[in-house]
Amino acid sequence: QVQLVQSGAEVTKPGASVKVSCKASQSTFITSYMHWVRQAPGQGLEWMGIINPNTGGKGFAQTFQGRFSMTSDTSTSTVYMELSNLRSDDTALYYCARSDLSGSGFFDHWGQGTLVTVSS
Amino acid sequence: QSALTQPASVPGSPGQSITISCTGTSSDVGGYNAVSWYQHHPGQAPKLMMSEVSQRPSGVSIRFSGSRSGNTASLTISGLQAEDEADYYCCSYAGSSTFVFGTGTHVTVL
């Protein structure tokens, strides 16, 4: 049973940073790429980036290059995403999702989502 | 990377068939088999409905089918049911370890 469990909601201020975690089982961790996807209020899904938790290899959507980072901790089977210099339009529901290492490129399991609210 | 283009809404009556289009370029939809579709109910995590253009995951109703012609992928829902009312998103690999979602389509069951 694949489960991705994300950290809880965050309320933060413009200009600050936020870090969201996504914990998987060890068996899932070693057979997956992990992705971050967000949905702003009233908007569609937006792919942010991909990380191979085992090698650290990454890819980023151009929109987020520079403010967005991803890390992994193999000892706890957890991946993290950090978004810095937050703006009000970063208010969104942030999801982690997994795809398998075959490169088939579909997201078959998702975390429950973490609401990040940016407000002064 | 621009979002893939989907119609904003597609209505249908119960029992009808509807098709949602997803138009990209030869650098994404037309260039790779990694086109997938997701059903999204507000407040829930998205659900994979179709992978690799036309592969239906285990547990997804056979009423859902996928296809592609050139740079446009399509998701068809046959025998439309009330439970199909949701937002649907396509997604494609876009090269260089990047992916792109479609703009999203709201399916309304009349």
Q: Nearest-CA residue of chain A relative to B93?
A: A105
Taking one residue from A and the other from B, the number of pairs with CB-CB distance under 8 angstroms is 71
Do B78 and B12 touch, CB atoms closer than 8 A? no
pLDDT value for A101: 84
Per-residue pLDDT tens for B29-78? 999 999 999 999 988 999 999 999 999 999 999 999 999 999 999 999 99
Adjacency order of strands within the sheet including A4-6? A4-6, A18-24, A78-83, A68-73
- Flag whether pLDDT at A64 surpasses 90: no
User: Could you tell me what percentage of chain B is helix, strand and coil, using 3-state DSSP and rounding each to the nearest 5?
Assistant: 5, 50, 50
- Within 8 A by CB and 6+ apart from A115, the residues are A9, A10, A92, A93, A94
Buried b (16+ CB within 10 A) or exposed e, B14-53: eeeebebbbbbbebbbbebebbbbbbbeeeebbbbbbbeb
Per-residue pLDDT tens for B64-103? 999 999 999 999 999 999 999 999 999 999 999 999 999 9
Determine what percent of chain A is predicted with pLDDT higher than 70.
100
Q: How far, in Å, CA of B110 to CA of B65, rounded?
A: 21
The residues with which B49 forms a beta bridge, in sequence order, are none
What is the arithmetic mean of pLDDT over A50-77? 92
How many Cβ atoms sit within 10 Å of the Cβ of residue B86?
19
A37/B102 CB distance under 8 A: no
- Flag whether pLDDT at A77 surpasses 90: yes
